[in-house]
Amino acid sequence: MSVYQTAKYAISDAACSVLSPVTPGSFGEFCPRFIDGFFVTVELLILSCSMGLVIAIAVAFARLSSNIFISKASFVYSYIFRGTPLLVQLWIAYFGFGSLGAEKLGLFWPLFKEGWTIGVIVLTLNTGAYVSEILRGGLVNVPKGQMEAAVATGMSWFQSMFHIMLPQAFKIAWPAYGNEVVLLMKGSALVSTITVLDLMGQTRTVFSRSYDLDVYAYSAVLYLLLAGTITVLFKFGENRMKTD
């Protein structure tokens, strides 16, 4: 077991020994599972959020490109990922492509082997599409004059986009972006259907042993905590960005 895994389990166990005395019995019994799952959810969230942002910026720029092929291709990508349910995307990747097996997928097999990896990839592509739309919406609302002024001072198109337009677009789109991150967190629960033991996956496993509805309640509380943390972080960011 890697150092990272050992560290995670240690924190889980520590958290549980602290929480057990103050929480209802049935939570304490399965606590390590809940916290383990919570960690996996957070991992998925951080990875797909950051990588998705990179993709979103690239796609937002691509949409504005004068190259018809690039702008159309990025539109198609965005349309497909926003127009189909996340669950369908996950199942196409895991059950659809994955079932082709190692021989047919060759080099790509390591990507499709684990549910966790597929989860990260699909969540990244999915959130990338939605965030690119949000950024586009932000970019449209930045005064065009800024772009012209930047180019007039000698910046290239790319430089002006990156240093002038994008930051302002971000500020405008910040609340919508925060909303999307919460939606991403909620969507991450679907990876439990492709054998990933995130918070939702652990919850379903525990429920299948005890059939006690309380299990879902504990899980809901943990998700609410995560959603609350995200919202607070974004509010904090919003205040930091206020220039007036």
Partner 1 sequence: MLELLSFGDSGWGDDLLKGAIITVQLALCSVGLGFSAGLLLAMIKLSRFRILRWTAEAYTLFVRGVPEFLILLLVFFGSEQIINTSLAAMGFAVTVAVPKFAAAVAGLSMIFAAYSCEVFRGAYLAVPSGQMEAAESVGMTRMQGFLHIRMPQLWRFAIPGLGNLWMVMLKDTSLAAVIALDELLRVAKVAGEATSNPLLFFVTAGLIYLALTALSDIVRDKAEKSAQKGMASS
Partner 2 sequence: MNFKTTALATAVAMGLAGMAVAQDLRIATEGAYPPFNEKNAAGELIGFDVDIANALCAEMKRTCVIVAQDWDGIIPGLVNNKYDAIVASMSITEERLKSIDFTSPYYSNYIALVAKNGSGFTLDDVANKAIGAQRSTVASEWAEENAGSRGDVRLYDTQTAAYSDLESGRIDALVSDYLPAVDWLKTNEGFGFVGDKIDIDDKIGIGLRKGEDDLKSAFDKALAAIRENGTYLQISEKYFGVDIF
Nearest residue to 47 (alpha-carbon basis) of 217, 191, 238: 191
C-beta of residue 216 within 8 angstroms of C-beta of residue 203: yes
Task: State which of residues 8, 13, 227, 237 lies at the interface with partner 1 (CB under 8 A).
Answer: 227
Structure-block tokens of residue 216: 């879902």
- How far apart are the C-alpha atoms of 16 and 28, rounded to whole Å? 7
Q: How far is the CB of 64 from partner 2 (least distance, A)?
A: 41
Please give the residues from 153 up to 212 whose contact with partner 2 meets the rule CB under 8 A: 193, 195, 197, 201, 204-205, 208-211
- How far apart are the C-alpha atoms of 10 and 241, rounded to whole Å? 37
Q: Does 96 bind partner 2 (CB under 8 A)?
A: no
Task: State which of residues 36, 133, 180, 198 lies at the interface with partner 2 (CB under 8 A).
Answer: 36
Q: How far is the CB of 19 from partner 2 (least distance, A)?
A: 17
Radius of gyration of the chain (CA): 21
**Helix, coil or strand: residue 240:** helix
Residue 88 binding: pick among partner 1, partner 2, none (C-beta 5-8 Å cut-off by kind): partner 1
The packing angle between helices 166-188 and 25-63, to 10°, is 140
The packing angle between helices 25-63 and 199-210, to 10°, is 150
Judged by CB under 8 A, the number of residues near partner 1 is 39
Using CB under 8 A, list all residues that contact partner 2.
9, 32-33, 36, 95, 98-102, 113-115, 193, 195, 197, 201, 204-205, 208-211
Using CB under 8 A, list all residues that contact partner 1.
79-80, 83-89, 91-92, 95-97, 99-100, 182, 185-190, 192-193, 200, 203-204, 207, 211, 213, 216, 219-220, 223-224, 226-228
